[in-house]
Structure 1
């Protein structure tokens, strides 16, 4: 699921189901980033990490670690990407990948931290949101949901897709959570304004610029908010 989502965003990926396959893929694919699970069927994650770094010293890494009862972590050097504790949401994992690549000088439009749709601006780096000149406070779940909408503007998003991307992958709650949090978002960004979040009957939701928004460059909240990017290819392996 993570690989599919990253590929769709413009970050080319390859996957490997065990350590031996990962080493082979790294030789052929030469990735910029490796997402390594510490638990694999044929090799300890620490050993795989050491071997990957021997042949690719500048390789960026994110380690996957299963959350335990005492919340302890194995003593493994996870720099510079750190840890991603399972279960995680696909959107949170993608946010971590984008930040790590940005912090290490990679430049691609899909990695931009500041994203806008009409007069709605979302700053993923600093967890801030504006609608026009108004800054809007959101809870972590509201922010994650809005981030998914903003990074997929004009696309019909089904309730199951939203649930699978924004909530962690083994979440067993009901899809009514999506409807509930969409209602929260509407109160934050749409109340008293031209609405941007629209319900698609029997489908889900879609985020579109407000009808009154003409040119993003004319809005003061947008000036200097969107960094430019030179298209390039960022590669990752999991």
Structure 2
């Protein structure tokens, strides 16, 4: 969960409440820090205050929606109907006014997270070549029968390459879809993640089994077919 709110008491209150429910929590006191965390840490849900010191929450929501469909719950002391309509029309998934009860907030968060679950029969395909298993429905990776612990970014890169198996995915496409459009030139991010992926998969870049570099262009997943 990413909380973007300039009130220290609210951040502390939410941090304690969310952690008590088992969520990992990221905290930001302004728009700049919040957008940076959203781009680099890929939260499952964003709690966004409207009254931030550096930018309006509506502006932050608009920028976020340019590259992410993460559920966003807006927080504000403003309870006017037009404020709520503006936020929901702008892409927010829910709107809660301050002060609020923690139990109601948790129920709303659980509902937003449930909405993200894929419908029955829509599970993504599973890759299994006898050595490497990528279960996209469970977001799990196994190598020679042992689980492989990947970070969010490592898994996101692997899953995107897998979806385009056999085809080159450009560096810009990977950066745009995973880090956001403001990071399309930050190729060092991608090199670091691909390097760690190869290390964890034991994939020799000089003679790759799965992750092939197309110099100056991008990367290609060269495994077999998915189930």
Place the TM-score, normalised by the shorter chain, in its bin.
0.3 to 0.5
TM-score, scaled relative to structure 1: 0.44
TM-score, scaled relative to structure 2: 0.46
Q: Which has the higher contact order (CA 8 A, sep 6+)?
A: 1
